[in-house]
Amino acid sequence: MSVQTLYTAATGMEALETKLDVIANNMANINTTGFKKDRANFEDLFYRQMRLPGTLDADGNLSSTGIEVGLGTRVSSTQSNHGQGAIQTTENPLDIAIEGDGFFQVTTSGGQFYSRAGNFGINATGDLVLGSAHRGWVLDPGINIPQEATDVVIGSDGQVQFRTSGQDQLQIAGQIQLATFINPDGLLKLGDNLYQATDASGTANLDNPGNPGVGVLAQGALEASNVEPVQELIDLITTQRAFELNSQVVQAGDQIMQVAANLRRG
């Protein structure tokens, strides 16, 4: 059954190509703010049952096992590792890192989205927005900083205060809240450091930073990508070798077919 060998090995090569794509994306985003690395999971395909377990023999005894040949593998899912990335100090007062669980909630006319990137800025109307050149992602609930503000202070609990010229007392601008999900793996990745809620993730639960189950904020810092370069390189090497092994299986199956095709009667 060397023909089946070719198809089975091909499923392994196809699945490993997907894993290589995942590794490449992880490495490409090694410096992306708040990026969470992905992992490709595999599952075996169905089996050709040549003899079922528990078959009765001539004496009426049950066999302890059967004969079954697997038909390959496929990618079952990709999962994100939502582990904490390193906190990098930037000294920019509008940079905010999340230490722990939670996402910033931002909104546009297209709806609500979620992000771990905390590189915020202030738009022309004084609203706190994500620093994106593509869309104006406004923080939700909204925070407005007046033009006359000379200093912005963001506490670990998410309270935003500002100071104006000639005044020492801080004034409250608003409260940053974080969104948590019962299944963050179910969030849909959209690019632009954004996620979208799905039926799999469940609805967002908004709460103040520091409350049980919610992370805290660090002003003047950003969360780095949680990609580990050494681990990704190891995965790259093992994936490449596994791909080569599957290609050798294809070659072996081809050689067996060639031997059979070259048989001659004496």
For residue 265, name the pLDDT band (cuts at 50, 70, 90): low
Looking at the fold, whether 7 and 103 belong to one and the same domain comes out as no
pLDDT tens-digit series, residues 138-158: 998 999 998 888 889 999 999
The whole-chain average pLDDT of the chain stands at 90
Position 91 in a domain: yes
Does the reported pTM lie above 0.75?
yes
Distances (CA, A) of 70 to 19, 203, 244: 21, 40, 20
The β-bridge partners of 206 are 179
SS3 content of the chain, % helix, strand, coil (to 5): 25, 35, 40
Are both 130 and 255 inside the same structural domain? no
**257 vs 129, higher pLDDT:** 129
* Residue carrying the six token digits 């199956």: 253
What tokens were used for 165? 């010229």
Buried/exposed code over 64-73 (b: 16+ C-beta within 10 A; e: otherwise): eeeeeeeebb
Q: How far apart are CA 177 and CA 158, in angstroms?
A: 7
Say if residue 246 is in the same domain as residue 124.
no
- The arithmetic mean of pLDDT across residues 113-117, rounded, is 95
Residues 8 and 67 in one domain: yes
Percentage, residues of the chain above pLDDT 90 = 63
How far apart are the C-alpha atoms of 134 and 26, rounded to whole Å? 22
pLDDT at 112: 92
* 132 occurs within a structural domain: yes
Pair of tokens at residue 175: 């409260």
**How does DSSP classify residue 200?**
T
User: In terms of domains, do 99 and 50 share one?
Assistant: no
Task: Say how far apart CA 207 and CA 193 lie, in whole Å.
Answer: 21
What is the mean pLDDT of the segment spanning 205-210?
Answer: 94
Asked if pLDDT for residue 1 goes beyond 60, the answer is no
Residue 94 sits in the same domain as residue 131: yes
Question: Are residues 215 and 249 part of one domain?
Answer: no
Q: Residue 266: which pLDDT band, with cuts at 50, 70 and 90?
A: very low
CA-based nearest residue to 246, from 16, 26, 64: 16
Question: Hey, which residues does 95 pair with through a beta bridge?
Answer: 119
Q: Quick one: how far is CA 133 from the chain centroid?
A: 23
- In the chain, pLDDT over 70 holds for what percent of residues? 97
Instruction: Check whether residue 251 and residue 194 sit in a common domain.
Output: no
Number of domains in the chain: 2
